[in-house]
A = this chain, B = another copy of it.
Amino acid sequence: MQDKTTKQTARSARGQAISADLIAVVIAVTNGEPRVLTIGQAGALPSGPFEFGHRSLQSGLRAWVERQTGHRLGYIEQLYTFADRDRIGDERMQRVISISYLGLTREEQAERSPMHGWQGWYNYFPWEDHRAGVPLMLPDVVMPRLRAWADEADNPYTRHDRWQRVAIAFGLDDRDWNEELALQRYELLYEAALVAEAVRSLNTGGASPIPGRPMIADHRRILATGIARLRTKIKYRPVVFELMPPIFTLLQLQRTVEALAGRLVHKQNFRRLIEQQDLVEETGETMSDTGGRPAKRFRFRQTVLAERTAAGTKLPLSRA
């Protein structure tokens, strides 16, 4: 009886025809700059429809990225799935589900292919790079306009709510800047119609967008999702190594982390953290063209991968 309910509903499902798009946020870090793999005029992420022939979502994604950019993906993980109303097919309106993935690689491979481009991700999010201090555009351009946006609300509660969200996302008052909130910041800027995509779709004429390169459809939002995820993840899983060459110095590793986080790290403490976790081992060689004392070279200890994949966070557990 109850089983029937289930089956019937499931059956009606098959009638609806929809399509699914696979979208990839592929990241690499070169010369201390995080980059994202793009296609077209660097205004789009590699993507393509999930097809019948694909063995799985992942393999479909790999196929599309390879076809469009010549780049072969290594590590990938799912980001998010959504189905917006405004995503429309060609002739008739048709529902499209977008399934996005985050991929990590080293840039070098397949660098030759002409159909792809690695773009510094801070071109799309200039307000996210705090390595050289707070970007001037924040106090000079972004904050005033967000302030104005908050104030323009009729309802005082809305005003307060808007401003509080801004304060949290951008670390105002005595709050710290939290690099993990990249997505929330982009969404706020979109809501406030300060990014080109919002002006475009909301048709909010007049105001010009703040600096930062736009992308087609919602690709920039997807990129922001990937950045936020990666910034969170590097803190509890050794994923940075997916972006590193086989051999590296601790400073190179540090620069990579800083590039991703968009902020600086305390050098000595960074080394302590890495070493005490047994994440790396010395190769024995040193590297001397560092401009100072030669640095020891390290390699990632594959061994820990299995163990560290499992992490764990805090709870006042009892051992008994």
List chain A positions with a Cβ less than 8 A from chain B: 2-3, 5-6, 9-21, 39-41, 44, 47-52, 55-57, 64, 67-68, 78, 80-85, 89-90, 94-97, 99, 115, 164-165, 168-169, 176, 178, 180-181, 184, 216, 232, 234-236, 257, 261, 263-266, 269-270, 272-273, 306-307, 310-318, 320
- Docked-complex contact A64 and B313, CB < 8 angstroms: no
Taking CB as reference atom, which chain B residue is nearest A169? B310
Write out the residue numbers on chain B whose beta carbons fall within 8 Å of the beta carbon of A80.
78
Copy number of this protein in the oligomer? Answer: 2
- Docked-complex contact A39 and B2, CB < 8 angstroms: yes
Write out the residue numbers on chain B whose beta carbons fall within 8 Å of the beta carbon of A264.
317-318, 320
CA distance A78 to B100 in the complex (A): 13
Q: How distant is A29 from chain B, measured CB to nearest CB, in Å?
A: 16
Given A40-B6, A310-B180, check contact A18 B18 (CB 8 Å): yes
- Docked-complex contact A41 and B164, CB < 8 angstroms: no
Task: Select one of B14, B84, B318 contacting A89, CB under 8 A.
Answer: B14
Q: How distant is A101 from chain B, measured CB to nearest CB, in Å?
A: 10
For the complex of A and B, the 3 pairs showing the least CB-CB separation, nearest first, are: A13-B49, A269-B316, A17-B17
- Docked-complex contact B64 and A314, CB < 8 angstroms: no
CA distance A19 to B232 in the complex (A): 32
CA distance A140 to B279 in the complex (A): 35
- Docked-complex contact B39 and A270, CB < 8 angstroms: no
Given A14-B90, A51-B16, A181-B310, check contact A41 B263 (CB 8 Å): no
CA distance A206 to B78 in the complex (A): 36
Write out the residue numbers on chain B whose beta carbons fall within 8 Å of the beta carbon of A315.
234-235, 257, 261, 265
Taking CB as reference atom, which chain B residue is nearest A233? B313
Q: How distant is A3 from chain B, measured CB to nearest CB, in Å?
A: 5
CA distance A317 to B52 in the complex (A): 47
Interface pairs (30), CB distance under 8 Å: A2-B39, A2-B40, A6-B39, A6-B68, A12-B48, A13-B21, A14-B19, A14-B49, A14-B89, A15-B19, A16-B19, A18-B20, A50-B95, A56-B83, A56-B85, A81-B99, A97-B97, A164-B306, A168-B306, A168-B310, A176-B312, A180-B310, A180-B311, A181-B310, A235-B313, A236-B314, A264-B317, A264-B320, A265-B316, A269-B316
